[in-house]
Each structure stands twice: as structure tokens, then as C-alpha cells.
Structure 1
Amino acid sequence: MFMGEYQHNIDEKGRIIIPSKLREDLGETFVITRGMDQCVFGYPMEEWRQLEQKLKALPFTKKDARAFTRFFFSGAAEVQFDKQGRINVSTPLKQYAKLEKECVIIGVSNRIEIWSKPVWESYYAESEASFAEISESLMDFDFDL
């Protein structure tokens, strides 16, 4: 399980250090792709395979399903760590997530997320203000904190 919040810089070549606490569970090779809310998702290969199977089950006759799978898979790339524990984020993913210098890497259960620090801070501030409201709406899913 991935959890925690870490800050690292991305360099001009698109390389970013993934914290050692997250690297072990990601494995030698893992997949990064466009995430929701303008961040990059990172999945261990087993999680990626499970997600891929779920997305394959979506009805390709539905326009939204085709659009989502195109968006999700077209940005996907297998990545590996270099000797310093860095991965290389492609230019399209860097542009999508506005990764320029300061970044935040968070663990979110079955995946990691890589955020531009300014985008993360804005998202966090907005979400923090409505945290109680969000938790109340999750009660509809028989979810209790």
C-alpha cells in the first residue's frame, strides 16, 4: 500500500527521484500515465494489469469509454529506476501535469501520484475546505471513517 507525501524536483531532462519508501512496492518496472485532476499516476505492473482488464471490459461502442481509454493508454509508459532512484517522465506527461520544477509525490493506496507543487497546493487547499462534505457524501457508499 502506498501512502505519504514527499517533495522532489524534476530536472530539465524529466527525471525525478521516487522516494525509497515507494520504490520497493512499485517494483523494477512500473507504468505511469495521465491521472485525474492534472497529475501523473504510477502503478505497479500487477495493479496496471488489473486496471487494464477492467478498462478492456468497458463497452467500446460507448463514446465516453473510447475517449477515456484513449486518454489513459496513450499517455502510458513503462518506466524503470536509474541508479539514483529516478524515473524519466515523458514530455507529454510533464506538459499535462505541469511538472516544471518542484513536485509532490503522494502515495494513494494502490498507486502513486506525481503532482506539480503549485497544482497540488491548489487542489489540496480546495479539497481540504470541503473534506467534511466529501466524507459525508461517501457515506452513501457505506464508507465510514
Structure 2
Amino acid sequence: MFMGEFHHAIDSKGRLIIPSKFRQEIGDSFVITRGMDGCLFGYPMDQWNKLEAQLDKLPLTKKDARAFTRFFYSAATEVEFDKQGRINLSAPLIKFAKLQKNCVVVGVSDRIEIWDAENWDKFSEEAEENFEDISEKMTDFDF
């Protein structure tokens, strides 16, 4: 399970350190793709395979299903760690998430998320302000 928030800088070549705590759980390689809310999603291979199985069930006859899978898969890439624990992010992924120098790597249960630090701060502040309201709207969930 991934959890926690870690701040790292992306270099001019698109390399970003993934926290050692996450690297231990991820394994040798994992898949990075476009996520929701303007961040990137990173999945260990076992989770990626489960997600692929779910996406394969989407009906090809539905326009939204085709659009979603195209967008989701088109930027997906398998990444490996270099000796310093960094991954190399592609230009389309950097552009999508609007990654500047300062990034935040967040653990979210079965995946990691990579955020531009400024965007993460905005999201985090808004979520904090609305946390109780959000939790009340969730169904079938008890703390």
C-alpha cells in the first residue's frame, strides 16, 4: 500500500526521484500514465494488469469508452529506475501534468500520483477545506 507525501525536483531531462519507500513496493518497473485532476498515475505491474482487465471490459461501441481508453493508454509508458532511484518522464506526461521544477509524489493506496507542487498545494488546500463535506457525500464508507 502506498501512502505519504514526498517533495522532489524534476530535472531538465525529465528525471524524477521516486521515494525509496515506494520503490521497494513497486518493483523494478511500473507504468506511468495520465491521471485525474491534472496529475500522473503510477501503477505497479500487478495493479496495472488488473486495471487493464477492467478497461478491456469497456464497450467498444461507446464513444466515451473509446475516448477514455485512447487518452489513458496513449501516454502510458513503462518506466524503470536508474541507479539514483529516478524515472524518466516523457514530454507528453510532463506537459499533461504541467510539471515544473518542484513536484510532489503521493501514495494513494494501490498507486502513486505525481503532481506539480503548486497544483498539489491548490488541490490539498481545497480538499482540506471540504474534507468533512466530501466524507458525508460518500456512500458505503464508514471510518
TM-score with structure 2 setting the length: 0.99
Deviations, residues 25-75 of structure 1 (Å, cap 9, x unaligned): 111010000000000100000100000010000011111111110110001
Aligned to 1:66: 66
Aligned to 2:119: 119
* Equivalent runs, 1:1-145 vs 2, <5 Å: 1-138=1-138, 140=139, 142-145=140-143
**1:42 & 1:14 partners in 2: Cα distance?**
15
**1:44 & 1:95 partners in 2: Cα distance?**
22
**1:116 & 1:143 partners in 2: Cα distance?**
30
SS in 1 for 2:31: strand
CA displacement at 1:136 relative to structure 2: 0.4
**2:126 & 2:113 partners in 1: Cα distance?**
18
- Report the identity percentage: 62
Structure 2 unpaired stretches of 5+: none
Q: How many residues align?
A: 143
Misfit runs of 4+, over 6 Å:
none
Match of 1:88, as an amino acid?
N
SS in 2 for 1:130: helix
Structure 1 unpaired stretches of 5+: none
**1:134 & 1:75 partners in 2: Cα distance?**
30
